[in-house]
């Protein structure tokens, strides 16, 4: 037994049960929830969780948590046209002085007991609350009918979609990123972009609320490395939660951020010995640009204040990152806000190789343009920023490592920083842990994000050379790098990153990925023979091809067709690409190839 109200203790050594049990009366029924010692890390921790849960239930007056006193209603307006669904104005509880409007769904469960669920007008709005109540009653009636076993003469009605509730609620309140929200609702339009309500993930698969699954062929925007709900990363996060969830990194430090910084520096051979943390890729780019700009000022060269980027470059959507982004749809609307001292240079895109040229020749030609610019403007240039080997948002534009070798030499000659943006292409995506390693170089500043936490938590990091760090050491605070984020170096995110690095080391992931890359190449080969496929290409675990079509809606048609074939694939314009997690097996890669082939035929029909 327990001295805590509504909480009892169960210890059954024979069954291995050791838990605190919370029991609270709700809507005339007992609601019971156990808190086991094993799940919460000990008897004391489980009790604390049980007490917090009990207190939240007892303190809550939400219509979702406690009975609404329907007998206190003023009036009932059954304007839904559906039996068992009505509109009420009620008191939320006995002590409330003001009434609230709800839509109430009512049904009898499989044992004949009356059940209800309430949808607050103030929470959802009038129309949405009504629609949710109707959908809930239909769903419950179908469930009860199925449990009771309808006969052939009275078959169960078709099961309503469990996705519908979540889709409707999301579109009312959530502003989704990088999306024209109207396209989610225009189901009959060629621009229609279906919104996926995801209930859970497992390995390389995502599963919606109707239990339909989709192979995550793009690693959830290039973030997930070792599958959804990875047990080792999960375990690492549970362990970290027992000791420290967060502390500010200004004036404090902690074990996960120290260990992660040490391990990342070691992965660069000590060349990039200092780590500065943020929470997303664009923030890392802002940090790198500011570090370079401020370095030259501290070094006595304030005139070095201009930046160089490549044609088609994408480095993020914050204002500073947009200044070095050359993708019009992201940049143009905010161009007046961006830093003007940026120059766009030719891309070493291998597709630009002329007849008789190799990708390395195309890289050398682009490096020649860089050389000419630095000869004329090197004294004013702070840094060149590149996405090594693959320019993602430009359409998986791939280039030969020769460009990086030549760019490194030119930056050294003209005293210009080289910033490698490996937010998307780092952490093994291109076949080496860092993409720049394939050129045998090191940058001055390296930006990482996305996969660094295994796709679990927002985390980004800028690694820099010691010389850059040293330039900020001074008695004057004005010469310090005064940049910060509230969640800089969050312990949970750092712990996820450490678990990710452990998996790389323990499983020899880069070696295993070579076999996966061969399987991806084999799956890509039949698609390369399609008459409208152009420039099939691959770099490590990234594969892509362009589609020759004038259809402005190709990408949406393909996306919808891929979903119908259980694959999540989002073309970039006319470029179809794969970037799956590192846990896909041969069968899943074959599924990806087959789903892509079917989606291509449907989209081009």
Lowest mean pLDDT among 51-60, 67-76, 116-125, 282-291: 67-76
What is the token pair recorded at 360?
Answer: 């390395």
Flag whether the pTM goes above 0.85.
no
Residue 306 in contact with residue 272, Cβ under 8 Å? no
Where is mean pLDDT largest: 36-50, 173-187, 518-532?
Answer: 518-532
What is the token pair recorded at 335?
Answer: 């161009």
CA distances 149 to 158, 520, 529, Å, are 14, 46, 51
Residue 365's pLDDT is what?
98
Look at residue 73 and tell me whether its pLDDT is greater than 50. Answer: no
pLDDT band at 120 (very low <50, low <70, confident <90, very high): confident
Q: What is the chain's mean pLDDT, rounded?
A: 88
Please list, in sequence order, all residues whose beta carbon lies within 8 angstroms of the beta carbon of residue 458, skipping any fewer than 6 positions away: 279, 280, 487, 490, 493
Residue 62's pLDDT is what?
36
Please list, in sequence order, all residues whose beta carbon lies within 8 angstroms of the beta carbon of residue 561, skipping any fewer than 6 positions away: 598, 599, 600, 602, 603
Residue 99's pLDDT is what?
64
Q: What's the rounded Cα separation, in Å, for the pair 395 and 387? A: 12
Around Cβ 13, how many Cβ atoms within 10 Å?
7
Q: What's the rounded Cα separation, in Å, for the pair 12 and 24? A: 22
CA distances 427 to 225, 264, 472, Å, are 8, 11, 29
Around Cβ 328, how many Cβ atoms within 10 Å?
9
Which residue from 568, 481, 556, 563 is spatially nearest to 204, judged by alpha carbons?
A: 568
pLDDT band at 376 (very low <50, low <70, confident <90, very high): very high
In tens, the pLDDT along 448-491 reads 999 999 999 999 999 999 999 999 999 999 999 999 999 999 99
The rounded Cα 487 to chain-centroid distance in angstroms is 17
| 498-519 mean pLDDT | 97
Residue 554's pLDDT is what?
98
Look at residue 162 and tell me whether its pLDDT is greater than 90. Answer: no
Residue 503's pLDDT is what?
97
| 351-357 mean pLDDT | 95
In tens, the pLDDT along 121-152 reads 766 667 767 777 777 777 777 777 766 665 44
Residue 134's pLDDT is what?
78
Q: ∠ at Cα 132 (126, 138), nearest 5°?
A: 140
Residue 164 in contact with residue 194, Cβ under 8 Å? no
| 532-551 mean pLDDT | 98
Q: Which residues pair with 277 in a beta bridge?
A: 461
Q: What's the rounded Cα separation, in Å, for the pair 240 and 493? A: 10
Look at residue 220 and tell me whether its pLDDT is greater than 90. Answer: yes
Residue 415's pLDDT is what?
98
In tens, the pLDDT along 229-271 reads 999 999 999 999 999 999 999 999 999 999 999 999 999 999 9
Q: Which CATH number fits domain 231-507: 3.40.640.10, 3.40.50.300, 3.40.50.11900, 3.30.70.1380?
A: 3.40.640.10
Around Cβ 164, how many Cβ atoms within 10 Å?
17
Q: What's the rounded Cα separation, in Å, for the pair 128 and 134? A: 10
Note the CATH number of domain 182-228+509-604: 3.90.1150.10
| 560-589 mean pLDDT | 97
3-state SS record for 373-425: HHHHHHHHEEEEEECCCEECCCCCEECCCHHHHHHHHHHHHCCCEEEEECCCC
Which residue from 489, 444, 433 is spatially nearest to 466, judged by alpha carbons?
A: 444
CA dihedral (497, 498, 503, 504) in degrees, to 10, reads: 80
Look at residue 69 and tell me whether its pLDDT is greater than 70. Answer: no
Residue 60's pLDDT is what?
46
Look at residue 94 and tell me whether its pLDDT is greater than 50. Answer: no
Residue 19 in contact with residue 37, Cβ under 8 Å? yes
DSSP state of 51: H
What is the token pair recorded at 324?
Answer: 């070095």
Around Cβ 531, how many Cβ atoms within 10 Å?
7
Q: Which strands make up the sheet holding 460-464, listed edge to edge?
A: 274-278, 460-464, 445-448, 417-421, 381-386, 306-310, 342-345
Q: Which residues pair with 108 in a beta bridge?
A: 114
| 158-167 mean pLDDT | 77
493 burial (CB, 10 Å; 0-12 / 13-18 / 19+) is buried
pLDDT band at 44 (very low <50, low <70, confident <90, very high): confident
pLDDT band at 46 (very low <50, low <70, confident <90, very high): confident
**Per residue in 208-229, is it b (16+ CB within 10 Å) or e — as a string?**
bbeeebbbbbbbbebbbbbbbe
Answer left, alpha or beta for residue 396, where phi above 0 means left and psi between -120 and 50 means alpha. Answer: left
3-state SS record for 200-262: EEEECEEEECCCCEEEECCHHHHCCCCCECCHHHHHHHHHHHCCCCCCCCCCCCCHHHHHHHH
Look at residue 310 and tell me whether its pLDDT is greater than 60. Answer: yes
pLDDT band at 187 (very low <50, low <70, confident <90, very high): confident
pLDDT band at 50 (very low <50, low <70, confident <90, very high): confident
CA distances 239 to 42, 200, 260, 493, Å, are 12, 22, 16, 13
Residue 346's pLDDT is what?
98
Helix 231-241 × helix 491-507 angle, to 10°: 140
- Residue 2: φ, ψ to 5°: -130, 150
Residue 194 in contact with residue 568, Cβ under 8 Å? no
| 77-84 mean pLDDT | 56
Q: What's the rounded Cα separation, in Å, for the pair 114 and 171? A: 31
- Residue 379: φ, ψ to 5°: -70, -15
Look at residue 68 and tell me whether its pLDDT is greater than 50. Answer: no
474 burial (CB, 10 Å; 0-12 / 13-18 / 19+) is exposed
Residue 264 in contact with residue 442, Cβ under 8 Å? no
Please list, in sequence order, all residues whose beta carbon lies within 8 angstroms of the beta carbon of residue 493, skipping any fewer than 6 positions away: 279, 453, 456, 457, 458, 459, 487
Most distant CA pair in the chain: distance in Å?
88
pLDDT band at 81 (very low <50, low <70, confident <90, very high): low
- Residue 590: φ, ψ to 5°: -65, -40
- Residues 55, 60, 65, 69, CA torsion sign: positive
Q: What's the rounded Cα separation, in Å, for the pair 467 and 191? A: 50
Residue 37 in contact with residue 242, Cβ under 8 Å? no
Q: Which residues pair with 567 in a beta bridge?
A: 215
In tens, the pLDDT along 198-209 reads 999 999 999 999
3-state SS record for 315-334: CCCCHHHHCCCCCHHHHHHH
């Amino acid at each position: 037994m327990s001295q805590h109200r509504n909480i009892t203790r169960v210890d059954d050594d024979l069954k291995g049960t050791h838990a605190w049990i919370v029991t609270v009366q709700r809507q005339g029924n007992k609601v019971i929830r156990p808190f086991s010692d094993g799940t919460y890390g000990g008897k004391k921790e489980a009790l604390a969780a049980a007490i917090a849960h009990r207190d939240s239930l007892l303190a809550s007056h939400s219509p979702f948590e406690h009975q609404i006193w329907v007998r206190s209603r003023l009036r009932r307006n059954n304007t839904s046209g559906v039996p068992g669904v009505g509109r009420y104005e009620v008191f939320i509880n006995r002590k409330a002085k003001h009434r609230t409007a709800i839509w109430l769904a009512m049904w009898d469960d499989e044992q004949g007991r009356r059940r209800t669920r309430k949808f607050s007008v103030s929470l959802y709005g009038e129309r949405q609350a009504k629609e949710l109540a109707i959908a809930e009653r239909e769903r419950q009636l179908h469930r009860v009918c199925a449990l009771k076993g309808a006969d052939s003469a009275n078959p169960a009605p078709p099961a309503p979609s469990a996705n519908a509730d979540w889709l409707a609620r999301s579109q009312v309140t959530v502003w989704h990123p990088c999306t024209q929200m109207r396209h989610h609702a225009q189901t009959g339009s060629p621009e229609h972009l279906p919104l996926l309500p995801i209930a859970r993930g497992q390995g390389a698969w995502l599963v919606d609320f109707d239990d339909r699954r989709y192979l995550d062929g793009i690693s959830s925007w290039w973030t997930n490395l070792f599958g959804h709900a990875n047990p080792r990363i999960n375990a690492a996060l549970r362990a970290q939660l027992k000791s420290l969830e967060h502390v500010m990194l200004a004036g404090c430090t902690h074990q996960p951020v120290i260990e992660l910084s040490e391990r990342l520096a070691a992965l660069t051979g000590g060349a990039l010995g200092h780590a500065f943390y943020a929470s997303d890729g664009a923030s890392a780019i802002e940090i790198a640009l500011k570090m370079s700009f401020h370095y030259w000022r501290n070094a006595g060269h304030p005139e070095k204040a201009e930046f160089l980027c490549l044609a088609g470059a994408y480095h993020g959507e914050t204002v500073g990152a947009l200044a070095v982004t050359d993708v019009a749809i992201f940049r143009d609307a905010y161009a007046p806000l961006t830093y003007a001292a940026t120059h766009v240079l030719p891309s070493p895109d291998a597709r630009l190789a002329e007849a008789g040229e190799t990708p390395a020749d195309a890289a050398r030609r682009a490096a020649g343009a860089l050389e000419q610019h630095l000869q004329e403007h090197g004294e004013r240039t702070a840094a060149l920023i590149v996405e090594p080997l693959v320019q993602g948002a430009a359409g998986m534009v791939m280039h030969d490592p020769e460009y990086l070798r030549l760019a490194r030499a030119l930056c050294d000659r003209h005293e210009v920083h080289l910033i490698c943006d490996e937010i998307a292409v780092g952490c093994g995506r291109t076949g080496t842990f860092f993409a720049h390693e394939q050129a045998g170089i090191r940058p001055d500043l390296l930006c990482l994000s996305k996969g660094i936490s295994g796709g679990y938590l927002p985390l980004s990091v800028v690694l820099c050379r010691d010389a850059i760090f040293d330039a900020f050491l001074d008695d004057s605070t004005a010469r310090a790098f005064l940049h910060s984020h509230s969640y800089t170096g969050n312990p949970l995110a750092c712990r996820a990153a450490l678990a990710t690095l452990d998996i790389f080391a323990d499983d020899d992931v880069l070696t295993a990925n070579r076999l996966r890359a061969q399987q991806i190449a084999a799956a890509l080969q039949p698609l390369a023979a399609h008459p409208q496929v152009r420039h099939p290409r691959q770099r490590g675990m990234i594969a892509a091809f362009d589609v020759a079509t004038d259809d402005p809606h190709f990408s949406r048609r393909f996306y919808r067709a891929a979903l119908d074939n259980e694959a999540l694939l989002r073309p970039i314009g006319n470029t179809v690409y794969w970037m799956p997690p590192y846990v896909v097996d041969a069968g899943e890669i074959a599924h990806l190839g087959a789903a892509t082939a079917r989606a291509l035929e449907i989209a081009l029909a």
